[in-house]
Structure 1
Amino acid sequence: MAKKALKSQAARNTSILNRSLLISAGIHTLYHLLRLLLSPQRSLYRYIPLSLPSILIQFWFERIGRPRYGPTGEAQKAGEDLEAKGLTEWMWDVVYWSWGCIGGAAVLGDWVWWFYVVIPLYSAWLAWTTFAGAKRGMAGMTGGTDEGGAPGQAGSKRQQKMEKRGAQKVQYRQ
């Protein structure tokens, strides 16, 4: 049972990368087949730059996530966690949305590429909510003042209820 976590991480990463490779190959093949058979006027000028981010992200995931095996066949490096929160999760969202746009463009036509605009909008929304959350978190570090700048309203709800009932007021030291 030595290195059980390393082995399970390596197996999980291999499974995720193989699945994403097959899905990506299938979607891109579908696009090109339908483009050649049904509508040769579909634009490669849109396809190439709009599918490039998902392809680059997948190459990046292959580089950081694919396990490395030694000469004996034992996993030496499991690779980075491909199910991590934060940037990795956002990158998977970009890949999934790109696949959806490619599949939609293959079936419905080139106008579906306009849905790709959602990615920058989603990124801006994530950045704004992250910034707003950090701003709110930093507001608690201002020394316990309320909106008007007067001290006294800091503390838990329980403390505020006790003070409201007439219990002894809690004094905060500076």
Structure 2
Amino acid sequence: MAQKAAKTLASRNASLLLRTHLTTLCLHSIFLLLHWLFNRPHSLTPYYSLACPTLVIEFYLERLGRPKYNAADGSLRSPGEDLGASGLTEYMWDVLYWTWGCMGAVCVFGDRAWWLWIVVPLYSVWLAYTTVMGMRTGLAGMGGTGAGDVPAGESKRQKKMEKRGGQRVQYR
């Protein structure tokens, strides 16, 4: 049972990467098949500019999460990074999934469905805004209360004590 967590992470990463590569292969094949075989009026410019950069993201996730094994005995050398981690990795998965959805919509509805991809930059702007505003409110309380500052509101415990008739303090 040595390195059980590492082996679990390695198998989960390997299966997730395999599923991701198969899905990407299928979607790109369907798109290109519809474009060339059935002579659909798709322009390849949005495809190259919007869908192909996700191949770079997929390559990065492959390098990040692919487990590495020793060649001599086949033992696990490194399980790879957790592909389910939050933060930038999570954002990359969101971009990848959204691009898959846009490619599917383009296959069904035509080139105008590429406009759905505008959600990604808008989502990035919204994330940046909420992060900055959260930091701003978090840093606002670090200045202390000066003479002109309004004191902070009462806690629930303080409000209950006031409701019962105030805090009873005994001095000796």
Give the TM-score of the pair, scaled to structure 2.
Answer: 0.88
Quick check: 1:67–1:78 contact (8 Å CA) kept in 2? yes
Within the alignment, does 1:45 sit opposite 2:45 as a pair? yes
Displaced runs of 4 or more, over 6 A = none
Quick check: 1:144–1:154 contact (8 Å CA) kept in 2? no
In 2, the alpha carbon distance for the partners of 1:101 and 1:36 equals 19
User: How many residues are aligned here?
Assistant: 167
Q: Secondary structure of the equivalent of 1:140?
A: helix
- Pairs within 5 Å for 1:47-126: 47-71=47-71, 72-126=73-127
Deviations 1:23-49 (A, max 9, x none): 000000010111123334311111101
Name structure 2 gaps, 5 residues minimum: none
The one-letter code matched in structure 2 to 1:27 is L
Within the alignment, does 1:162 sit opposite 2:156 as a pair? no
Once the two structures are TM-superposed, the CA of residue 161 in structure 1 deviates from its matched residue by 3.6
Once the two structures are TM-superposed, the CA of residue 162 in structure 1 deviates from its matched residue by 2.2
Identify the range of structure 1 (102-111 vs 131-140) with the bigger mean alpha-carbon deviation. 131-140
Q: Secondary structure of the equivalent of 1:5?
A: helix
In 1, the alpha carbon distance for the partners of 2:19 and 2:145 equals 51
> Percent identity between the aligned chains?
49
Q: C-alpha root-mean-square deviation of aligned residues, in Å?
A: 2.1
Within the alignment, does 1:6 sit opposite 2:10 as a pair? no
Deviations 1:89-118 (A, max 9, x none): 111000000111111112211000011100
Once the two structures are TM-superposed, the CA of residue 150 in structure 1 deviates from its matched residue by 3.0
Give the TM-score of the pair, scaled to structure 1.
Answer: 0.87
